[in-house]
Structure 1
Amino acid sequence: MNYETLNDAQLWKMIASDDRGAFGYCFKVYSKDLFKYGQKFTGSREVIEDVIQDVYLGIWNKRKTTQISSSLKFYLFTAFRREIIRRLSSFRKQESIDQFSSALLKESSYLDGVVKKQFINESNEKLHKAINLLTERQREAVYLRYFVELNYDEIAELMNVQIPSLYNLIFKSIKVLKDSMTEKVQSKTK
């Protein structure tokens, strides 16, 4: 069976009807993105892998009763985010989720890793500095929009923000990046 030709609703229908091949394909396609997203919360490979496995196990166990009609990717990211925050917050009960999430986002930035891989020359350093000007929430929003390719409705629900606020957050992020990069180019030409 060629699962690549199926949309998310069709793939989920096959999983719900006990197709282990479809389930394996789903794991293969989305687990790497979930792992990269998990690195925004913790540097612990073991915790991220455990949460991914638990999310997939939960999905398999509830496949008969769960309804996914459009975006399987969004469903997975939502379940993953909820579970990793729950798991990590149990380690640090004295901090609120927002404080904890903010601290974790500072520890490991996937965007920084992508920048280092894509740019080996001087522009890498400039872009890295520009990204560091973004807040943790801006980094997460930009990551989800441009690297994970979730739509605005999905990101707003995932990050628990209103859509107009999300538009504003991403717009300001892009403006900060653009201004920072333009400033560095202009200062170099003077």
Structure 2
Amino acid sequence: MATEKDKLLLLWKNFRDGNKEAFAAIYNLHVDLLYRYGTKLCNDENLVKDAIQDVFIDLYLKSSNSIPANLKYYLLLAIKRNILKKIKRERDINNEICESLFEPEYSIETIIIEKENRDEINGRLAKILKQLSHGQKEALYLRYNETLHYDEIAQIMNITVESARKQVYRALKTIREGFRGEGLILMVLIISNIYKTNKKIIF
């Protein structure tokens, strides 16, 4: 059975051979994750959409090159750089637009929907998540939603690998401490499903 990487390699080969539909397929496979990530970095949706367009135009123009080893990582890094560049140029770093850098909504209702204490747990989780720094939230997102390796997270966030590990560790520690005594099974569910891509995320 062909892996995701094999499928991307085939699409990229077909695109380099002149198949425009192959590039459209690459776009469709990644546009949603770039939009999700971009709108967590900045709440100006039009700016994010422009950045996505720029990233894919750049990718299109580089069709003669070989496909990046990890295309998802490459695109996430590219979208972050493009968004920050646009903010600096067009908004002169207007903090009203990007002050809430990485303030994602953590929707875990489906994990505990049948629990009688759902409201209490959700309320506690919301308070706990507010304790996390922007860096911890971003590192947690990249690690558990986009399943990136720590070296990739470090490059995207422009920090060391050790710092990336610490950001994730401290975030998880805060969540665990907040739910101490709730039982191991519930803890595993909460931590492992906060950022699953098949869960609804409210922007």
* 1:41-89: CA deviation from partner (whole Å, max 9, x where unpaired): 221221111111111111112211x333421111111111110110011
Structure 1 residues 25-40: aligned runs within 5 Å: 25-40=25-40
Q: Which runs of 5+ in 2 are unaligned?
A: 184-203
* 1:86-125: CA deviation from partner (whole Å, max 9, x where unpaired): 0011134367xxx89972416xx22x25346766631222
Q: State whether residues 43 and 97 of structure 2, in contact with CA within 8 Å, keep that contact through their aligned partners in structure 1.
A: no
Aligned counterparts of 1:55 and 1:148: Cα–Cα separation in 2: 18
Residue number among 175, 178, 181 corresponding to 1:177 in the alignment: 175
Aligned counterparts of 2:178 and 2:99: Cα–Cα separation in 1: 24
Corresponding residue number in structure 1 for 2:19: 19
Q: State whether residues 15 and 23 of structure 2, in contact with CA within 8 Å, keep that contact through their aligned partners in structure 1.
A: yes
After superposition, the Cα gap between the structure-2 partners of 1:5 and 1:83, relative to the gap in structure 1 and judged at 3 Å, is closer
SS in 2 for 1:26: helix
After superposition, the Cα gap between the structure-2 partners of 1:133 and 1:102, relative to the gap in structure 1 and judged at 3 Å, is farther
Q: State whether residues 38 and 83 of structure 2, in contact with CA within 8 Å, keep that contact through their aligned partners in structure 1.
A: yes
Q: State whether residues 89 and 100 of structure 1, in contact with CA within 8 Å, keep that contact through their aligned partners in structure 2.
A: no
Aligned counterparts of 2:97 and 2:135: Cα–Cα separation in 1: 10
Q: State the 1:3 CA deviation.
A: 9.8
Aligned counterparts of 1:153 and 1:39: Cα–Cα separation in 2: 23
Corresponding residue number in structure 2 for 1:134: 132
Q: State the 1:32 CA deviation.
A: 0.6
Corresponding residue number in structure 2 for 1:48: 48
Q: State whether residues 134 and 173 of structure 1, in contact with CA within 8 Å, keep that contact through their aligned partners in structure 2.
A: yes
Q: State the 1:26 CA deviation.
A: 1.4
Identity of aligned residues (%): 27
After superposition, the Cα gap between the structure-2 partners of 1:18 and 1:181, relative to the gap in structure 1 and judged at 3 Å, is farther
Q: State whether residues 130 and 181 of structure 1, in contact with CA within 8 Å, keep that contact through their aligned partners in structure 2.
A: no
1:103 is aligned to 2:102: no
Residue number among 134, 154, 160 corresponding to 1:156 in the alignment: 154
Larger helix percent:
1
Q: CA RMSD in A?
A: 2.8
Aligned counterparts of 2:7 and 2:180: Cα–Cα separation in 1: 40
How many residues are treated as equivalent by the alignment? 177
Residue number among 159, 164, 167 corresponding to 1:166 in the alignment: 164
